[in-house]
Amino acid sequence: MKLKLPSFKKQKEFPQQFFAVDFGGKVAKIFVLNVNDGSYSALGSRRLNVGEEDFEDQFKEEVAELRAEFPEAEPLAVVGASGPETTAFTTVVRGSPGHGIEDLAKHAQNTAEESAEKELSLSLGDQKIGVTGLESEILEVKEADKLEVFIFSSFATASYQEKRAQLIKKAGLELWGFSSLPFNLITDLAKEAGDGELNCLIFDVGGSKTEISLVFGGQLMETKSFWWDFVENGNPTAFLDLWLEAVSFALSDFEGVELFPPKIYLCGGASAFPGLQEVVTSYPWSRDHPFDVAPEVISLSEERLPLSLGQVALRIKEESEEEEA
C-alpha cells in the first residue's frame, strides 16, 4: 500500500516544459526540461558562478535567454534543495491497526520537523533558526500486528528558501516549489536498479559543501552535510586527506547503522577534483565504520544531480493519473 502526500501546490496539469534550478555552492545551473512518455530530458541549460557581484543580474539574463530560446517552456521553476542548510530523512511511525494512517502521518511529520529543527540549529550554531518543511511523501504503509508508516520529509532554513525564492521571482519565473536533490537522484537511480535494489551512499561533492545520503531499499534514509571549500592548492594530497577525515566524521553521525552499503556514488561539480575518486576508492572505510567489503565507487556526470529534478514532474503526473483512474 503506497499513499502520497502533496509536495507542492496543486495545478490541474504539470507543464511538459519547465525550468529546473540548482543554485549549488559555487556554480548555479539552470535547465529547461521536457517531460514526455514517462521520461525527461534537457532542452537547454546555463551555468554561472554564484560568487559574482552581479550574480542576480546574470541569473536574470540567463533565464531570459532560455525563455527566448524555448518560448514553449512554462515560466515555472522547480528548485533543488541540498547542503548544510537543509536536511532530509525517512521517519517510521508505528501504531495499532486502529489508528488512522492520516493521524500517524501527521504525527510523523511533526516529529520530523522537531528533529530537523534540532539538527539544523545544532549544525549551524543558531538556536533560533527558522526551519520549514519542503515536501513530505508517504513511501510505504505496512499493516500487520502493528501499523507502520514510512514517511520521507525534507526541510530547509527559512533564509535558505527566501533567498532562492526571491531570485526566482526577480528572474520572472513562478516558483513551483523546492524539492530535495538527493531524493530525486535516488528516485532516478532506484528505477535503474530495480524495485528495492538500491543500497548505497551518495557523496554530493560541491564546490563549497559536501552532502552524504544514506540509501537502503531504494529509500533515502538520512542526509548529513558539511561546508568544505574545494580550491586548488600546493598539496592536494593533504587537502584530500583532510576532506576524507571530514567525510568519515559525517559518517559517524549516522546512528543505528549496522552495516553501510557496499557502493558509493560520487556526484557534484567538485567530484572531478584531481585525485578525489582515487582517494575515495583507496580509503580504508572499514577501519572506522561498519563496512564488510571495500565499497565500489561510481562517478556520475556533473549534470546528473540537477537533471534528476525531472522526477518531480514524473511523480506529479503519476499522482494525477492515479487520481483520475
Cα–Cα distance list, 185 to 47, 124, 219, 236, 300 (Å): 20, 25, 11, 29, 11
Enumerate helices (H) and strands (E) in the chain, giving the number of each: 8, 13
Query: Confidence class of residue 1 from pLDDT cuts 50, 70 and 90?
Result: very low
Alpha-carbon gap, residue 48 to 25, rounded angstroms = 11
Stretch among 13-22, 124-133, 288-297 having the lowest mean pLDDT? 124-133
Query: Confidence class of residue 48 from pLDDT cuts 50, 70 and 90?
Result: very high
Nearest partner of 275 among 226, 239, 228, judged by Cα: 239
Residue 144: predicted pLDDT? 72
With a cut of 80, say whether residue 74 has pLDDT above it. Answer: yes
With a cut of 90, say whether residue 125 has pLDDT above it. Answer: yes
Highest mean pLDDT among 63-77, 144-158, 184-198: 63-77
Helix H segments across the chain? Answer: 55-69, 101-124, 158-170, 181-193, 236-252, 276-282, 304-307, 310-324
Nearest partner of 25 among 63, 1, 55, 64, judged by Cα: 55
With a cut of 70, say whether residue 197 has pLDDT above it. Answer: yes
Residue 4: predicted pLDDT? 40
Task: Let me know: does 161 contact 285? Beta carbons within 8 Å.
Answer: no
Average confidence (pLDDT) over 143-160: 88
Stretch among 10-14, 103-107, 148-152, 210-214 having the lowest mean pLDDT? 10-14
Cell numbers describing residue 313: 514532474
Give percent above pLDDT 90 in the chain.
Answer: 74
Cell numbers describing residue 160: 535558505
Query: Confidence class of residue 108 from pLDDT cuts 50, 70 and 90?
Result: confident
Q: Is the pTM above the cut of 0.85?
A: yes
Residue 107: predicted pLDDT? 82
Alpha-carbon gap, residue 22 to 82, rounded angstroms = 9
Report the chain's mean pLDDT, rounded to a whole number.
91
With a cut of 80, say whether residue 126 has pLDDT above it. Answer: yes
Specify the residue for cell string 509536495. 7
